[in-house]
Structure 1
Amino acid sequence: MKGLLLRLSALDADAATAVRVIAHFEALLGGGLDPVSLTRSTAGLAGCAAGLELPDGRAARFGPDGAALLGGPEQVSGRVDLEPSGRVWLERPGAPGPFDELVLEWMAITARVLAGRPRQNRVPRAADPALVELVLSGREDAADRTRALRLLGLTPEGPLRVVAVAGGPETNVGMEAVTLLGRGALRDTVRVARVGSLGAVLVQGGGGPDGRSTASPAAELRAALRERLGDRGPVRKPAHGIRTGVGGATDPLDARASWSQARSALRFAVAGGTPEEAVADHDELGPVTLLTDIPVERLRAQADVRRLGNLASEELLVALSAFCRTGSLRQAAGELHLHHSSVAARLARVEKELGWRLRDPQDRFRAQLALYALRLASDGDDE
C-alpha cells in the first residue's frame, strides 16, 4: 500500500483514493472486528459522524474525532440498508462528499461480516496508466511489454483478460472500475487504470486449481453490480450509466487483442440496464460480435432496427430484451421485478407495432438480432 501511495501522481487520483478506501476496510476485515471499531474507524475516514445498526440489535455511533455519540442520527447524508434489517449511515452537513457512496458501500460489506456473512476477495489496485497503455499497445516491442507487465505485478506467462468499463458523463470510470471489482468475488490479480474515456482492467490468474485461471469474470461482475444496486437505500439514487465489456483470455504479450474484444463487447452492454445487460462478455456473444464490422449507417438503415428504434417507450425495449434473453415470460418478469402480466402486456404492444410473434423462435431470434444492431447503432452516436 505504501508503494501505491508514493506513485499517486501517476494515477487516476480518484481511482487511487478508491483503492485506499477499499484497503482501509480490507484491513479491518483482516483484524479483530467489532461494531465499535468499524464505526469509529469509518467516522475518522469520512471526516463526519457515522453510525451502524446490525440485524442482531448491536449498534454504534461515533463522531469524526472518535467520540461516541448518544441517541439517533441527526442528519443522515447517505445510508445503506442491511438485510434482513439494520443499516449503516453517514451524517454530513450539506451535500455528501465525493467518496461517501464508496465508504458506505464498504462499510455495509464489512457490517455483513459482523452479521455473519463471509467476505472473500482481493483488493484491486490502481495502476500506472502509462504501463497499462504500454501493455495494451500493439506498437511497442515484446521486451518493453514484458517489463511493463512485471512492473504491474503481472506475469508474461499466465493468460490475461482485459475488461473495459464505461460510464455516464459525470462518472469517474477509474473509481467505478475499482469499486465494482473491489466488491466482486474475484480471486485474481486485478490492475485498474483509466485509458482515454474508459476504465481498463487487467485480470490475471489465481482462480483456478493451478493458479492460472482463464475463467471470465463476467458472472462475478454481474453479481457485484446486482449486490451494489440492491444495497442502495431510499436516500440514495440508483447507479446509472455503468457498463462493462469483458475480453477473451489471451497471452499477456497479446493483451491488445483482449482489449479490442472488451471494447467490442462494451458496445453491446446496456447503460442502466439489468446486470445481465450491463455486463457483456465477448466469449458469450460469440459470432454476434461480427455485427461490429457492419458500418453504423447500414445498421440504422435496416428496417427492423429502424422500427425498433421508433418504439415510443424504453420500457418496451427492456421487456423485449429480457424476454429474448431468457425465453421465458416469468423469468423475464422476475429479472425486471414486474408481474408477468405487465411484461406480457408490453410484449403484446411490441408484437402489434412490429408484426412479430415472439413465441415463434424465428421471430424471437429476429428481434434479438435487431436489438443487438440497435445497441450498436446507438453506440455509434457516442463515438
Structure 2
Amino acid sequence: MQRLAGNLRTIDPEASESLRIVSYFDVLISRGASVDALLRGAAVMASAVVGATVRGRTIRRDADGRTPREETPTTSSRIDGGEWTAWIERPGVPAPLDDVILERLALGIALIESRRRLPGGVEVIIDAGMGEAERVAVLARMRIDPGALVRVIASPAGALSGADDAVILPTRRALVRVRLDRELVPPQKPGPWGLGTVVRADRAPESLETALIALRLTDERDRVVDASELGSFLLLARAFDPDHPPADVVALSALDERSRHVLRALAEAESMRSASAALGMHHSSVQARHEALTQTLGYDPRTPLGRARYVAAALLMRLAES
C-alpha cells in the first residue's frame, strides 16, 4: 500500500492522498475504533471540525481532539445514514478530499452501529461520546466496578503491540495506542508513556484526555510522564492553543538548542557555580549567558517567578512541538 501510494504521488498527487486517507481509516476500523476515535481521525485528516449525530447524541471534534465551543458558519459536506448523520464543518466550499474523508468516516460509523448490540470493550469505556448508561453496561460486562479506580495509559502506536486490551486512537500528528490500567502499576518497558490521572472507571474519558497530554510532554529525558504529577499545569495544558502560543513560548522557541540547554541548567541549578559545573563552562561565561538570556526572555530564570515562567513555557513548547 505504501509503495503504491509512493508511485501514485508522482503521477497523481490527489489520488495518492485519497489512498492515504483510505489506508488511515482502514487501520482505525480494523482495530475496532470507536465513533469518537473516527471523528478525531477525520478531523485530523480534514483539518476542520467534524461531527456526527448517533442515536440522538451529537459529538463534534476539532483537529486537536477537542470539542469546539463555536459553531462553524456552514456545513459543507454531510452523509445521512438513517440512525446517524456525519458531517464536515468548513466555511465556504468543500475541500477537494472532504468527500473521501466523509465517506470513510460514514463507513466506520455504519460498521460500529451494525455491531453496537454486541459486547463492547475498552474503546467504549474511554469514549467521551458514549452515554453513561452504555459505559456502565460495558463495565459490568467486563466485571469492572464503576467506582473502581483506573487510569488510561497512552503510548506511540507500536509500544503496546502485545497488549490485548489496547486500542488505536488518532491524534493530530500520529496514531497512539491506549489501554485501561486497573492495577495502577507503572509500565516496565522503556517509554515514552503518558499516564493519565487516576479516576473512577465510569469517568475514564477524563483520564484519557490527561494521558494524551502527558504523552505529548515526554521527551528523551522524561520517558514517562504522569499526569497526576502535573498539578495545576493540566489547566494550562488544556487551555493551550498551539496555533496561538503566548509570548514566553515564542521567545523560548526562538532560542537555539545550546541556549535552551544553558537556560535549563540555570533554572534547575541551586547556584550559578553549580550551573557552571553541570554545563562544563567557566563561571564568567555562564554569567554572561545568563545576562543575555535574561534580556532576551524578559525575565530572570533564576528568580522564583522567572523559574515558574520558564517551566511553564518549556512544557507548553513541548506540547506545541510534540
TM-score, length-scaled by structure 1? 0.42
